[in-house]
Amino acid sequence: MTALAGKTALVTGGSRGIGAAIALDLARAGADVALTYTTSPDRAQAVAQQIEALGRRALAIRADSADADAVTAAIDQTAAALGRLDILVNNAGIVTDADTPENIERVLAVNSRAPYVAALAAARHMGDGGRIVTIGSCLGEAVRFPGITLYSMSKAAMTGMTRGLARDLGPRGITVNVVQPGPIDTDMNPADGADAGSQRALTALGRYGRPEEIAAVVTFLAGPGGSYVTGAQIAVDGGTNA
């Protein structure tokens, strides 16, 4: 696959799960890929090595998405080291089970502020054909069970951001979209976890999704086929919100 040949991408939170799957799928499509991580350098380097094994350039950058300056620096470092930036995937995200002031601040910083800061920084490097894709959540559209208000609020903000940036950046030929996953089998939400049965029951397909199924949609949006898609919310949730 060479649909993204000559392109450079940055995937935040790309050391594992959905982010790692996206980084590798973009590389298979021809892109050079940078990825950020916070606490897993070994895993980040392992993903980078897999990208390089595909014949692409790779860069692993330590950057805590709760730190706005670190987010901006990661964007600028990617463009400087790899020569350009065409694709930004805002994937990094966290969830908490306690609404302490510290947790509220961090969840909103990582899930809501960081994607906006990253998008603004990335847009300064992008030209016509630039792509910004944010990984939201089906829980940002419909809250199916109690106890997730903070997470849902932080992800719901991505819809407004996406629509606004699509208008702001459209005249420059940059598309902006949000992908809304349902339950996906990752370390953060394993298909054999304590509440997996209830999440699976909410889907129309009766199963968890795979990270690769999210990655495929992101790669489509990043490529030529996604050139007329912008300001869109794309559900990849197995029918959770059908």
Angle among Cα 104, 230, 164 to the nearest 5 degrees reads: 45
Reading across the β-sheet that carries 32-37, which strands appear in turn? 58-62, 32-37, 8-11, 87-90, 131-135, 175-181, 233-236
Is 151 noted as a catalytic residue in this protein? yes
**Which sign does the torsion angle of CA 144, 146, 151, 156 carry?**
positive
Beta bridge mates, 236: 181
Which of 37, 116, 151, 208 is catalytic? The answer is 151
Backbone angles phi, psi at 77, to 5 degrees: -65, -40
Residue located via tokens 């993204």: 4
Closest CA to 112 of 68, 146, 77: 68
Q: In whole angstroms, what is the distance from residue 159 CA to residue 151 CA?
A: 14
Tokens of 37: 């991580």
Active site residues: 151
